[in-house]
């Protein structure tokens, strides 16, 4: 029987669901503007990792909470990852290095399964390249408090639960408020680029299990 890891790997080598699956968790203004959005030549490059691993008879992945700081992503929930550095040999190397620095998982223990669709974030000017990785066993995390305030784990089955998606009122650092689709995991709200990336990942997972979807 083919494992979910093998099915995911195979699915990630094919054309991705892309922007349409990302937009299911996008703010309405983003939906209106994204198709005409031109990514600037000076966009900053970053990579993030959806890190999958077994645990309690299910597959899980970690999400991190950023510390409070003077920036557009202060206090937000995100995936491990960050800015590409000159020493990084590739976009996936950036995701692996940042995951090691932020949550303590060594790159040698992670098997890269493939990329998801890049996503440009206008408020920060980053072009984010998401990747999916696999660990054979449940990890012991060691977070860097300078970059990560806390970490929590989510099962893929919970991500796929339609009840995990809701309309949430978000207060921005500027003081403005907006209402947007988001994932809610207990008291944690996942919105914006991270929610859009996870929306596409969820679609990839479904298609890996059932290619007719």
pLDDT in tens, 71-108: 555 688 999 999 999 999 999 999 999 999 999 999 99
State the average pLDDT for the chain.
93
pLDDT at 72: 57
Parse the chain into domains and list their residue ranges. 4-35+43-208
- pTM metric for this prediction: 0.94
Tokens 């440009």 belong to 120
pLDDT in tens, 123-172: 889 999 999 999 999 999 999 999 999 999 999 999 999 999 999 999 87
pLDDT at 71: 58
As given in the structure block, the two tokens for residue 183 are: 């994932």
Domain 4-35+43-208 in CATH: superfamily?
Answer: Nucleoside Triphosphate Pyrophosphohydrolase (3.90.79.10)
Quote the CA–CA distance of 16 and 95 in Å, as a whole number: 19
Residue 1 pLDDT exceeds 60:
no
pLDDT (average), residues 24-42: 81
Give alpha helix (H) positions in the chain. Answer: 4-12, 19-22, 28-34, 91-103, 156-160, 192-209
Pairing of strands 188-190, 177-185: antiparallel
Residue 201 pLDDT exceeds 90:
yes
């Amino acid at each position: 029987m083919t494992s979910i890891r093998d099915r995911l790997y195979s699915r990630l080598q094919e054309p991705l669901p892309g922007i349409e699956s990302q937009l299911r968790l996008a703010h309405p203004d983003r939906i209106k503007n994204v198709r005409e959005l031109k990514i600037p030549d000076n966009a900053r490059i970053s990579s993030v990792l959806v890190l999958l691993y077994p645990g309690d008879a299910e597959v899980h992945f970690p999400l991190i909470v950023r510390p409070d700081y003077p920036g557009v992503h202060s206090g937000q929930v995100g995936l491990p990852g960050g800015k590409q550095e000159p020493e990084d040999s590739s976009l996936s190397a950036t995701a692996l290095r940042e995951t090691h620095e932020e949550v303590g998982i060594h790159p040698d223990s992670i098997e890269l399964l493939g990329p998801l669709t890049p996503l440009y974030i206008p408020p920060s000017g980053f072009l984010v390249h998401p990747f999916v990785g696999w660990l054979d066993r449940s990890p012991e995390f060691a977070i860097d408090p300078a970059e990560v305030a806390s970490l929590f784990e989510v099962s893929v089955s919970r991500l796929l639960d339609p009840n995990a998606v809701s309309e949430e009122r978000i207060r921005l650092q500027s003081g403005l408020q907006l209402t947007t689709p988001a994932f809610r995991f207990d008291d944690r709200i996942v919105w914006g680029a991270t929610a859009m990336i996870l929306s596409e990942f969820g679609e990839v997972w479904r298609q890996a299990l059932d290619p007719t979807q």
